Copies of this chain bind each other. A is one copy, B any other.
Amino acid sequence: MMQMGKLWILLLLFSVVLQAAGEQRKELGAGVICITAGTPDRLTPYGFCGEQPQNEALKTFGDGSLPFEIDKILIEKTSRGYRVAVPLADDEKLYGLGLQAQSFELRGKKKHPIVNDTPMDIGFTHAPEPFYVSNKGYGILINTLRYTTFYFGTLQQKEQQGGVSAGKSQVETSTDKLYENKTIGNAVWIDIPGCQGIEVFVFKGPDMKTVVARYNLLCGGGCLPPMWGLGLKYRVKGDFNQNEVMQMSRYFRDKRIPCDVLGLEPGWQTQTYSCSYLWNKERFSNHAAMLEDLFSKGFKVNLWEHAFVHPSSPLYEPLKQLSGDFKVWNGLVPDFALPETRKRFADYHRNLVKEGVAAFKLDECDNSNIASSEQSWSFPELSEFPSGLSGDEMHQTFGLLYLRTLSELFKEENRRSYLDYRSSGLFASSLPGCLYSDSYTHSEYIRMLTNEAFAGLLWCPEVRTANNEKDFFRRLQTVLLSPDAMINSWFLRFPPWLQYDRDKNNKGEFLADSTRMENMSRKLIEQRMALIPYLYAAFAKYHFSGIPPFRPLVFEYTEDENVTTLDDEYLIGDDLLAVPFTEEQTKRKVYLPRGLWYNFDTHEKYEGGKYYEVEFGLDELPLFVRDGTLLPLAEPVQMVMPETVFHLQCVAFGKAVRATELFEDDGVSYNFEKGSFNKLSLSLEKGKVRMNRTGNYRQKRYVVKGVTFVDK
């Protein structure tokens, strides 16, 4: 009793201290603390997360740790909202803020993570997240839809001395010198204007990988796409009609170029910009027959749309009272923050899903370019929505809630989908969507493949036109080494490998050596198809353990200073290292981290911890394989069907070969969430691959054909 009494007194004192600061703390899951100050907004990103925390998986990481006392995080009310300061060590490096295109490591920068259709270094992105991760092994997240600003060590408080070297003045005569940032801040400052209170989520480590895994598990674990989602997706030209779509479907099968998904662009609708969501009978006289034919060829069909509802749409009247008070392109802006809106929007789309439509592309859910005074097409920040969200808050979550609306529909139908969308935000990890962008700078596209890991997001560096053959193949390699292998020919009549110049393509003027181009493209796509079992296993790990399938080297090799700012290489799963090339690069500098590595194509061996100049051909995936990997490569299929069985030719790299895990289920339903799956362990025994299968899923999707050895 005495003991209990003391405990109560301690708890009481603790509570008094917190009350004095006006703050409260609670644990949301193992190693995730929510600090609340003031009266937070009623509608928050975490509130919009439709998934429960994966508590059991979270617990496997333990309680975690922080490099500073949690009460060193300063949360202050100001005249205009709240501000937060988090201690920052001199040698600390920071990452995150969603899908940043133009920066990787964030120290010394000011960032304004706001949704925008044109990524900009100030922080504007298709997928902003007020969430950053430190190499010291913790993460800070502001659970808000407000427009925040982060100052990553750039500010100096009045009482802080010595931020700039004092002493004798040197008169500078260039603005570059004058304005270079000489301040050494000792905190990350975060500005959250407009709110009456705030929730700060603190993710404990001990390392970045754990922090991110906790984040992903808190919102349900990473998404597991349908297995066909890992195949090739080809989007046809926007104005294609039924015959042209069918022609394109025959092209792929005739040429034996693997393709899982055909995507239709606006032309399928009677009215676009804004949308009717009605099949256009002039272009598609019998869309049901077309769908049937496509399905019989093994294609999955993805339909373009955006969320702005045209007056001619059957959705207009049902959504009129459930939308914002301003229109976009004369179309309603649905208030997806309301369950009733999501239900009505989903119910309408259920008809399309019942017709067999496998996915949607959710366009223009980001915002018009907020840095431009023209092309101001989206709803204004001053909009009001029936849910109580204002326009700015809605922008920060619009794309995510749109995706959630449709992915929940698919889940109700017990069909997994894999959608394209153009904006996201916090707590999207479990949603089956890949982000895309029109911005089309290859090096930025590669950088986003490194940044997506810090944000629970998936990114598609889509390919359409190219400057030349090298540019085309380098871009194709990159998209094939991404979560979503998409060729986006929305303004091209023919596949870009036949002609990568837009005007010539649309005139049907093919490249002189288009057959060689086609063959090289097929070879690359087949290499992607060979990796599907491996990729699928990486995604299963994303779902169950929270570890992202694509991640930068600093994520794993945090202590290695050579990878701190390395934003053009990334790991795929546990054992592959991608080193994408851009158009300018015949050779490129590659850093290989500690250990031994093998060239995926030539099998040449490299010692890690060093830089190399390497070459990869245009028709080879630029990959390295970790020493000890038993890599399961599938015989390429034309498409992935529920009945598809993968014939695996394994490659054993190096002398001490580890077991490899694969994930086996129907690949299309959510039955795996109810335990209907197998885990396969492939291991080497006496020069052969032994397969150990555990689980209750009946169908066998993998057969090992053999194994070859590299550097045995």
Contact = CB atoms under 8 A, between A and B. Distances in A.
A642 interface: no
A599 interface: no
Nearest to A381: B191
A182 interface: yes
A371 B372 CA distance: 12
Contact of A376 (B157, B158, B181): B181
A329 to B, nearest CB: 6
Nearest to A182: B329
A370 B194 CA distance: 19
Contacts of A237: 173
A380 B151 CA distance: 9
A593 interface: no
A570 to B, nearest CB: 22
A664 to B, nearest CB: 42
A423 to B, nearest CB: 15
Contact of A166 (B151, B164, B311): B311
B326 A157 contact: yes
Interface residues on A, range: 35 or more
A155 interface: yes
Contacts of A179: 368, 375, 377
Nearest to A102: B373
Nearest to A330: B164
Interface in A368-425: 368, 370-377, 380-382, 384, 388, 390, 392
Contacts of A108: 374
Contacts of A180: 375
Interface in A27-64: none
Interface stretch (A262-270, A338-346, A556-564): A262-270
Interface string A77-111: 01111010000000000000000001100001111
Contacts of A392: 80, 193
A374 to B, nearest CB: 6
B80 A169 contact: no
Nearest to A492: B173
A330 B163 contact: yes
A265 to B, nearest CB: 8
Q: Which of A173, A193, A392 has the most CB of B within 10 A?
A: A173
Given A79-B384, A238-B173, A388-B79, A327 B158 contact: yes
9 A-B pairs with least C-beta separation: A110-B376, A173-B491, A191-B382, A171-B239, A164-B330, A109-B373, A179-B375, A80-B390, A83-B382
Interface of A: 78-81, 83, 102-103, 108-111, 120-123, 149, 151, 154-158, 160-164, 166, 169, 171-175, 178-183, 189, 191, 193-194, 237-239, 265-267, 269-273, 280, 311-312, 320, 323-330, 332, 368, 370-377, 380-382, 384, 388, 390, 392, 438, 490-491
